[in-house]
């Protein structure tokens, strides 16, 4: 077997892990879902509300009711977390709605996902009240720690802002104080 063929399974395993980490996420960069939304870079303001809506719609489908978006990423740790407690669901809906508000401020137009998030706000699924725990750390292992908030902030700074060069250009001086 040629050396490159032996690398196949290793590379595919690594590829799967990378896709898994980056396929969907809740950037838990502030405990307050409103502030966490305001702290997102411009690129995430364009798309993260969709992921919020997908995870919450999936909570409906898994619990036996229909929702505006199809079921998606059912077994992803973030999606599972959303449906573990109504407090998690509510946090994500509020976060998604605030991302829509930020989108309107930064891009001077409404995001279509707002209507879905409003529907989700008004139509709660049958999810137990198990209190609130921090979301799972769906980030590279080197950033994981016992402090989910600090772990996500380090991940966000290194992987999103520095490596991908994502910015806060739409609103001057909007960079959060925790970013160097």
Inside any domain, residue 3: no
Inside any domain, residue 107: yes
Inside any domain, residue 7: no
Inside any domain, residue 115: yes
| Mean pLDDT, 10 residues at a time, the chain of 180 residues | 46 40 83 97 96 98 97 96 98 98 96 98 97 97 98 97 91 88
Global pTM reads 0.87
Distances (CA, A) of 48 to 13, 120, 180: 26, 15, 23
How does pLDDT run across 86-101, given as a tens digit for each residue?
Answer: 999 999 999 999 999 9
How does pLDDT run across 101-116, given as a tens digit for each residue?
Answer: 999 999 999 999 999 9
Inside any domain, residue 43: yes
Q: Specify the number of domains making up the chain.
A: 1
Inside any domain, residue 71: yes
What residues make up the domain containing 35?
31-162
154 near 116, Cβ under 8 Å? no
């Amino acid at each position: 077997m040629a050396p490159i063929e032996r690398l196949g399974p290793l590379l595919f395993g690594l590829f799967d892990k990378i896709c898994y980490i980056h396929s969907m996420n809740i950037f838990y960069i502030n405990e307050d879902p409103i502030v966490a939304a305001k702290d997102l870079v411009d690129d995430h303001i364009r798309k993260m509300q969709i992921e919020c809506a997908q995870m919450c719609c999936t909570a409906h489908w898994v619990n036996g009711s229909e929702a505006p978006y199809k079921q998606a990423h059912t077994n992803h740790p973030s999606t599972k977390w959303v449906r573990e407690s109504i407090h998690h669901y509510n946090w994500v809906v509020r976060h998604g709605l605030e991302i829509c508000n930020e989108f309107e401020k930064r891009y001077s137009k409404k995001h279509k996902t707002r209507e879905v998030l409003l529907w989700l706000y008004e139509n709660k699924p049958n999810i137990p009240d198990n209190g609130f725990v921090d979301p799972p750390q769906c980030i590279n292992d080197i950033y994981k720690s016992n402090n989910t908030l600090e772990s996500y902030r380090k991940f966000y700074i290194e992987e999103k802002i520095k490596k991908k060069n994502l910015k806060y250009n739409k609103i001057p001086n909007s960079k959060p104080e925790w970013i160097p």
